[in-house]
Amino acid sequence: MQSSPFTKTYQSSQCHARCGTLTTLHGVIETPVFMPVGTQATVKGMTPETLEELGAQIILGNTYHLYIRPGHELIHQLGGLHRFMHWNKPILTDSGGFQIFSLQELTTISEEGAAFRSHLDGSPLFLSPEDAIAVQEALGSDIMMALDTCIPYPASREEAARATALTNRWAKRCRQAQPETGQLLFGIVQGGMYTDLRLAAMEELHDIGFDGYALGGLSVGEPKEEMLAILAACAHHLPAKHARYLMGVGTPEDLVEGVFHGIDMFDCVMPTRNARNGMLFTSQGRVVIKNACFQKDASPLDPCCTCYTCRHYSRAYLRHLFQSREILAYQLNTIHNLHYYISLMAAMREAIQQDRFLAFRSEFYQQRGNQEPGH
């Protein structure tokens, strides 16, 4: 393979935390980075301009959903995903593996690929590793993900080993199908809750050779302690000269622990989905805005926050909007939550560059009145 598109720029002397840059067709990304999720070619309730103002460097699109509606051929005809959704910065598309996993009752997995039924109309569909690459090529994403088979929790060692081996065989086929378009391709490490399976899978994927490497199959129902244990055991073993991506995780605490263990990239629906459900992230912890205690509260949601929502609106107003089911509630809440997540990543980058990440981590937990993991 050619040299890695990832360059490490700072390494903490205290832990595995690091900063870097990831070069893509649509720009250079500073890591660690959080990627807002734009499942159906939109981050719900946000214009691209708002996302840029919030500091989003890259967003995520969903291969499965776009394959089903409106179709990757149509998006390709209309100039690709960037033009279709008016977003000129990098886009990562997941492979569709997680959605196929989540629709297990509609799916049959074989060596060839995944046969499944559309969740919209039940029509039969098929996605092979080669198809997954072709769809992502048509979408024009900057970072494509290899097709994987996600492992449910709990799973026996035998089940996990069988699924991991299939994921790696699919990964090899994805790599062979990777087009010479400049689009990056990341491999996905599976292995369930079995550290040795994951470490062996990593070696095999590294031998195949990818532009970056992801930990998949976490946050699928396992206890938080198990997820953190896998993260601690595996993250820093991902190839050091490439970007490391923790898929579908998670809470602000998960992001801090991921960076602590050497992860560079994160995505999760939590800030956007929770915003629409009225759960907001603040420097002091979570706020459930519908609670009656905020009915007459004239203070901003988070006095430490500089986002548009906190600069202009009170908790009382945000509660009123949410209780009234006003569309503006979902917009203002999403602005705040994404600002919180993106600002958290920027603060972590600064702490790593100043070589004070452990102090940052301690302050982060102290603000919330929580103990650091491992203490």
Per-residue pLDDT tens over the stretch 244-293? 999 999 999 999 999 999 999 999 999 999 999 999 999 999 999 999 99
- Those residues whose C-beta lies under 8 Å from the C-beta of residue 22, and which sit 6 or more positions away, are 5, 6, 28, 29, 31, 33, 212, 243, 264, 265
pLDDT of 143 > 90? The answer is yes
pLDDT, residue 103, reads 77
pLDDT for residue 356 is more than 70: yes
268: its two tokens: 């999760």
Q: pLDDT tens digits for 38-72?
A: 999 999 999 999 999 999 999 999 999 999 999 99
Instruction: Measure the CA angle with vertex 267, ends 259 and 184; round to 5°.
Output: 95
Distance of alpha carbon 193 from alpha carbon 316, whole angstroms: 44
pLDDT single digits (tens) 184-208: 999 999 999 999 999 999 999 999 9
Q: What is the percent of the chain where pLDDT is above 70?
A: 99
Q: Cβ-count burial of 40 within 10 angstroms (0-12 exposed, 13-18 middle, 19+ buried)?
A: middle
The answer, yes or no, to whether residue 300 has pLDDT greater than 70, is yes
Residue ranges per structural domain of the chain:
8-268, 275-368
What average pLDDT score do residues 10-30 get? 98
Phi first, then psi, for residue 58 (nearest 5°) are: -155, 145
Confidence of residue 156 (pLDDT cuts 50, 70, 90): very high
pLDDT band at residue 102 under the 50/70/90 scheme: confident
Query: Is residue 94 flagged as an active site residue?
Result: yes
Of the candidates 94, 142, 264, 302, the residue annotated as catalytic is 94
Task: Return the pLDDT at 99.
Answer: 84
Q: Do residues 54 and 335 make contact, with C-beta atoms less than 8 angstroms apart?
A: yes
User: 223 pLDDT exceeds 70?
Assistant: yes
The sign one gets for the Cα dihedral 213, 219, 222, 223 is positive
Query: For residue 261, what are its two tokens?
Result: 């263990």
Is 267 known to be catalytic?
Answer: yes
pLDDT at 106 (0 to 100): 77
pLDDT at 127: 94
Instruction: Choose the catalytic residue: 142, 254, 267, 302.
Output: 267
What band does 105 get if pLDDT is binned at 50, 70 and 90?
confident
Q: What is the average pLDDT value for the chain, to the nearest integer?
A: 96
Top-level CATH class of 8-268?
A: alpha beta
DSSP secondary structure, 157-212, as one string = HHHHHHHHHHHHHHHHHHHHH--SSS-EEEEEE--TT-HHHHHHHHHHHHHH--SE
Q: What is the mean pLDDT of residues 221-241?
A: 97
pLDDT exceeds 90 at position 346? yes
Considering Cα of 151, then 152, then 157, then 159, what sign does the dihedral take?
A: negative
- Whether 173 and 199 have beta carbons less than 8 Å apart is answered as no
Please report the pLDDT score of residue 290 as a whole number. 98
pLDDT of residue 51: 98
How far, in whole angstroms, is CA 24 from its chain's centroid? 17
| Burial group, residue 292, by CB count within 10 angstroms (0-12, 13-18, 19+) | exposed
